[in-house]
């Protein structure tokens, strides 16, 4: 089950010169039903909620990006999940300043905090009953955390992409940089929750990690408009396949 929700996180887990403000704004809330293929049936197990808000300190204003994953109550006795991923970014360019991760998965707990200073990351990690650890490591100038990357993707002008065109990216996760490749696969119309049927950009996501499997098996559909809302996400991981389906989009 832990690998299943790593798949969720990598996707929900969001390249170009277009304006971030055109794609998303403070006050946005996206809700997804998370499903996993159990005995040949796609079964809804969890809710994933992504939201944005503006927060200010005495010196700066940030856009707070939040992603919460929770199993539905009827599944809690089987395997209870309560995960929160947060990123505080510069609203103008989406550069992360602070990333926080708090997971509680079947009794296993872990908390992480990354403080970004230029190309340096100072991380703090606490796993269940183990002592807190600290680490300092270097990342590339364009490296994003897993949450801010999904929003960064939404700033791309995919209308200029040709089928098969790719874009290389980099995320930092578990104190490691992971290369990610995005491939444009054209347009398809899919159901987008309360938004109805929407024409979408179809993208294949590949990452140099054992968490994802198969060529063109990990897919995301973004609405083919200025907002580029993730409407549908499908993933293939070592223990099976699953998907995230948009049920509600507000504040967009």
pLDDT in tens, 5-59: 444 444 443 333 333 445 668 999 999 999 988 778 889 999 999 999 999 988 8
pLDDT in tens, 74-92: 999 988 999 999 999 999 8
10 within 8 A of 211, measured Cβ to Cβ: yes
Q: Which of 139, 5, 4, 12 is nearest to 65 (CA)?
A: 12
Residue 233 pLDDT? 93
* 4 has a pLDDT exceeding 50: no
44 within 8 A of 184, measured Cβ to Cβ: no
* 73 has a pLDDT exceeding 90: yes
Residue 136 pLDDT? 96
Q: Calculate mean pLDDT across residues 191-215.
A: 80
* 173 has a pLDDT exceeding 80: yes
pTM, full prediction: 0.86
Q: Which of 179, 239, 174, 167 is nearest to 204 (CA)?
A: 167
- Confidence class of residue 184 from pLDDT cuts 50, 70 and 90? very high
How far apart, in whole angstroms, are the C-alpha atoms of residue 88 and residue 128? 25
pLDDT in tens, 144-161: 998 999 898 898 889 999
84 three-state secondary structure: strand
The residues near 144 (Cβ < 8 Å, ≥ 6 apart) are 94, 96, 152, 169, 170, 171, 172
Residue 215 pLDDT? 58
Cα torsion 58, 52, 11, 86: sign? positive
């Amino acid at each position: 089950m832990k690998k299943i929700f790593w798949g969720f996180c990598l996707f929900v887990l969001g390249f170009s010169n277009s304006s971030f403000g055109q794609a998303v704004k403070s006050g946005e809330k996206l809700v997804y039903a998370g499903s996993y293929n159990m005995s040949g049936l796609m079964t809804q197990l969890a809710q994933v909620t992504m939201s944005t808000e503006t927060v200010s300190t005495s010196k700066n204003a940030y856009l707070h990006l939040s992603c919460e994953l929770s199993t539905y109550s009827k599944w809690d006795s089987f395997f209870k999940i309560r995960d929160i991923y947060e990123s505080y970014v510069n609203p103008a360019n989406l550069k992360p300043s602070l990333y926080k991760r708090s997971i509680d998965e079947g009794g296993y707990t872990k908390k992480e905090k990354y403080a970004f200073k230029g190309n340096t990351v100072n991380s703090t990690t606490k796993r269940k009953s183990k002592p807190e650890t600290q680490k300092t490591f270097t990342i590339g100038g364009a490296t994003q955390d897993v949450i801010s990357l999904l929003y960064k993707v939404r700033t791309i002008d995919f209308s200029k992409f040709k089928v098969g065109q790719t874009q290389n990216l980099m995320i930092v996760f578990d104190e490691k940089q992971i290369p990610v490749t995005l491939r444009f696969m054209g347009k398809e119309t899919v159901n987008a929750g309360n938004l109805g049927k929407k024409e979408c950009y179809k993208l294949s996501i590949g990452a140099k990690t054992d968490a994802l499997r198969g060529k063109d098996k990990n897919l995301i559909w973004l609405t083919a408009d200025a907002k580029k809302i993730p409407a549908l996400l499908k993933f293939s991981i070592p223990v099976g396949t699953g998907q995230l389906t948009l049920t509600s989009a507000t504040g967009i």
